[in-house]
A and B are shown apart, each in its own frame.
Chain A
Amino acid sequence: MIKVENLVKTFGPKRAVDGVSFTVERGEVLGFLGPNGAGKSTTMRMITGFIPPTEGRVILGGFDVVENPIAAKRLFGYLPENAPAYTDMTVYGFLNFAAELRGLRGEAKKKAVHRVVEMCFLESVLYQSVDTLSKGFRHRTCFAQAVIHDPDILIMDEPTDGLDPNQKHEVRTLIKRMGEKKAIIFSTHILEEVEAACTRVIIIDRGKIVANGTPEELKRKSELAGAISVRVAGVGGDVLKAKLAALDGARKASIVREDHEVVWARVYPKTPGADGALVRAVGELALREGWRLEELHVEEGRLDEVFRSITIPETQQVPSAPR
């Protein structure tokens, strides 16, 4: 449905987006991750045809966004950054306007507006002016606008920005549910969101794609993935660390935290994935030494760690531009 080929955007000497390519099929939810200023919004603006790319092209459902903009634009709904909406209109007026521009008339328009009002819980503010809405309602109004024509493609720039935890959860559930039938791209810098809603993740840094895979695949790249965390009472930290590191199949061990009699420690396996043996070995070691084992679990790996390891080191080497 969405095909992005070698997209480049330069602003003066700066390459804001530098050779981004990917595809998204129906039934996929693609999470677009990256630090602020990485080029997420610029990429999305190019996909929606708001700004023309310097190089490369975007094909939506077979239509080139630059060459055949109207046909391509019919296929998607777009939630821009900060959820803009006309402040001088009521929610109802705004949704009607969006429906009209989507070519809906009469009964079909009425039905479409009714459907999104229900879906986004907007009944209570339907006749309220947009500038009196709270941020959450304004966001949902703009979201409703994006799905009013039940598009095959949904593109959202930070759809949960500024929402409270309940609303975030609602939006994520909505995205996940709609993702079964649509091709969805959304950008975010909230990592739990990616785990909750995405089937695939792309991490972009300074205009380039630095990682592309399922959330599970990315998590496995984490140093933490496969590590065994233990909480033990009745043994000193140094002894514990030494004994754990000496285990067969352990690469290294570290102390996470020491608190009076209780020690939190972590053992990293030599080969990630072959951790069953190591878990047993840790258990047997505890029995043999007579430690009181209070907790033992295998870490899945954390996306935030992967994210940091991919995006931070290089940015630290390069001093920020003097401009």
Chain B
Amino acid sequence: MNSLANIKAIAKRELTGYFASPVAYVFLVFFLLLNGFFTFMLGRLFERGEASLFWFFQWHPWLYLFLVPAVGMRLWAEERRLGTMELLLTMPVTSWQAIVGKFLASWAFLALALALTFPVVVTVALLGDPDDGTIICGYIGSFLLAGGYLAVSCMTSAMTRNQVISFILSVVICLFLILAGWPPVQDLLVQWAPRLAGLVASFSVIPHFQGFMRGVLDSRDVIFFLSLMVLALFATSVIIRNIRTGR
């Protein structure tokens, strides 16, 4: 009860923090423009004559690669730079409440950005007869994917007080998550270290995301993304504890 109230207060502060500066609006516009560009120009949605959003979701892992770390990079780095972390963590809140509150706020912000892509759905629905289930499933997958990347950004953000370093680290880790299952990388790994190949591939987000794009809601894919989030957020809490004991 009390912990929910704390999480809510922290999440509310974080969300208002986003909209206090023009950065949030710039981000939203940028996100929507890029989405449109990828879907209609590179994805050739109109020319294909298919009433599906496959070519819309197709780009999300790459789009999120740069946009999600941009949202997550400030979460802890800014707290550390300003010294407000000391203020926040000496309030009667646990570090878990702070981590979860901050994460949920950013995730809600990303959900808002995703929700604002609705004109694409409207377009497809007007021009043809798409499968509603597949679209909903795609959105769920995209939302979970964003959450996975965001948790990684949250973790890298706690590692440094410099937002740029946090951003770069996060992009590198997310890129690994994309490329881990990519055939050329896998071919290389199979020759070089066959045992490792399977393990590395299991970290890949692409196969799990593809299920959602095709309209298959598999609990294993959901669990994959949820466990990625829990793992990264747990790592965040370990890092924060280390900051407090060491230094």
Residue ranges of A at the interface with B (Cβ–Cβ < 8 Å): 11, 45, 48-52, 69-71, 73-74, 78, 80-82, 84-89, 93, 97-98, 100-103, 129, 142, 145
Chain A residues whose C-beta falls within 8 Å of the C-beta of B84 in the assembled complex: 84-86
Partner of B244 from the list A50, A78, A88, A102 (CB cut-off 8 Å) is: A50
B126 interface hit (Cβ, 8 Å): no
Interface of B is mostly: helix
Partner of B6 from the list A50, A87, A101 (CB cut-off 8 Å) is: A101
| Known interface pairs A50-B244, A51-B244, A100-B9; A84-B87 also in contact (CB < 8 Å) | yes
Distance between B107 CB and nearest chain A CB, rounded to angstroms:
19
Cβ A50 vs Cβ B17 within 8 A:
no
Cβ B91 vs Cβ A101 within 8 A:
yes
Chain B residues whose C-beta falls within 8 Å of the C-beta of A89 in the assembled complex: 13, 16-17, 20
B198-211 vs A: 1/0 string, CB under 8 Å?
00000000000000
Chain A residues whose C-beta falls within 8 Å of the C-beta of B9 in the assembled complex: 97, 100-101
B133 interface hit (Cβ, 8 Å): no
**Cβ-closest chain A residue relative to B86:** A80
10 further interface pairs, Cβ-Cβ under 8 Å (given A103-B5, A129-B20): A73-B92, A85-B82, A86-B82, A86-B84, A87-B82, A89-B17, A101-B6, A101-B10, A101-B93, A102-B91
Chain B residues whose C-beta falls within 8 Å of the C-beta of A87 in the assembled complex: 82
Chain B residues whose C-beta falls within 8 Å of the C-beta of A129 in the assembled complex: 20
Partner of A70 from the list B16, B92, B245 (CB cut-off 8 Å) is: B92
Task: Please measure, in the bound complex, the distance between the C-alpha atom of A82 and the C-alpha atom of B90, giving whole angstroms.
Answer: 15
28 contacts between A and B (CB under 8 A): A48-B90, A51-B247, A52-B244, A52-B245, A69-B94, A70-B93, A73-B91, A73-B92, A78-B87, A80-B90, A81-B83, A84-B82, A84-B83, A84-B84, A86-B13, A87-B82, A88-B21, A89-B20, A93-B13, A97-B9, A97-B13, A100-B9, A100-B12, A101-B6, A102-B92, A103-B2, A129-B20, A142-B87
B183 interface hit (Cβ, 8 Å): no
Task: Please measure, in the bound complex, the distance between the C-alpha atom of A74 and the C-alpha atom of B17, giving whole angstroms.
Answer: 25
Distance between B218 CB and nearest chain A CB, rounded to angstroms:
40
Chain B residues whose C-beta falls within 8 Å of the C-beta of A80 in the assembled complex: 83, 86-87, 90
Chain A residues whose C-beta falls within 8 Å of the C-beta of B20 in the assembled complex: 88-89, 129
Interface residue tally for chain B (C-beta within 8 Å): 26
Chain A residues whose C-beta falls within 8 Å of the C-beta of B119 in the assembled complex: none
Distance between B72 CB and nearest chain A CB, rounded to angstroms:
16
B49 interface hit (Cβ, 8 Å): no
**Cβ-closest chain B residue relative to A48:** B90
B89 interface hit (Cβ, 8 Å): yes
Smallest CB-CB A-B distances: 8 pairs: A84-B83, A100-B9, A73-B92, A101-B91, A48-B90, A88-B20, A80-B86, A88-B17
| Known interface pairs A11-B246, A86-B82, A103-B5; A74-B92 also in contact (CB < 8 Å) | yes
B229-247 vs A: 1/0 string, CB under 8 Å?
0000000000000001111
Interchain Cβ contacts within 8 Å, total number: 74
Chain B residues whose C-beta falls within 8 Å of the C-beta of A84 in the assembled complex: 82-84, 86-87
Chain B residues whose C-beta falls within 8 Å of the C-beta of A51 in the assembled complex: 244-245, 247
**Cβ-closest chain A residue relative to B8:** A100
| Known interface pairs A88-B21, A100-B9, A101-B6; A70-B87 also in contact (CB < 8 Å) | no
Chain A residues whose C-beta falls within 8 Å of the C-beta of B2 in the assembled complex: 103
Chain A residues whose C-beta falls within 8 Å of the C-beta of B92 in the assembled complex: 70-71, 73-74, 101-103
Task: Please measure, in the bound complex, the distance between the C-alpha atom of A103 and the C-alpha atom of B90, giving whole angstroms.
Answer: 14
Distance between B181 CB and nearest chain A CB, rounded to angstroms:
38
| Known interface pairs A73-B90, A84-B84; A100-B5 also in contact (CB < 8 Å) | yes
**Cβ-closest chain B residue relative to A101:** B91
Distance between B152 CB and nearest chain A CB, rounded to angstroms:
23
**Cβ-closest chain B residue relative to A47:** B90
Task: Please measure, in the bound complex, the distance between the C-alpha atom of A103 and the C-alpha atom of B10, giving whole angstroms.
Answer: 12
Task: Please measure, in the bound complex, the distance between the C-alpha atom of A48 and the C-alpha atom of B93, giving whole angstroms.
Answer: 13
**Cβ-closest chain B residue relative to A155:** B90
Task: Please measure, in the bound complex, the distance between the C-alpha atom of A84 and the C-alpha atom of B10, giving whole angstroms.
Answer: 17
Chain B residues whose C-beta falls within 8 Å of the C-beta of A81 in the assembled complex: 83
Distance between B26 CB and nearest chain A CB, rounded to angstroms:
15
Partner of B94 from the list A48, A50, A70 (CB cut-off 8 Å) is: A70
**Cβ-closest chain B residue relative to A42:** B247
Distance between A176 CB and nearest chain B CB, rounded to angstroms:
24
Chain A residues whose C-beta falls within 8 Å of the C-beta of B83 in the assembled complex: 80-82, 84
Among A50, A86, A93, the most chain B Cβ lie within 10 Å of the Cβ of A86
Task: Please measure, in the bound complex, the distance between the C-alpha atom of A22 and the C-alpha atom of B65, giving whole angstroms.
Answer: 53
Task: Please measure, in the bound complex, the distance between the C-alpha atom of A78 and the C-alpha atom of B91, giving whole angstroms.
Answer: 8
Chain B residues whose C-beta falls within 8 Å of the C-beta of A50 in the assembled complex: 86, 89-90, 244
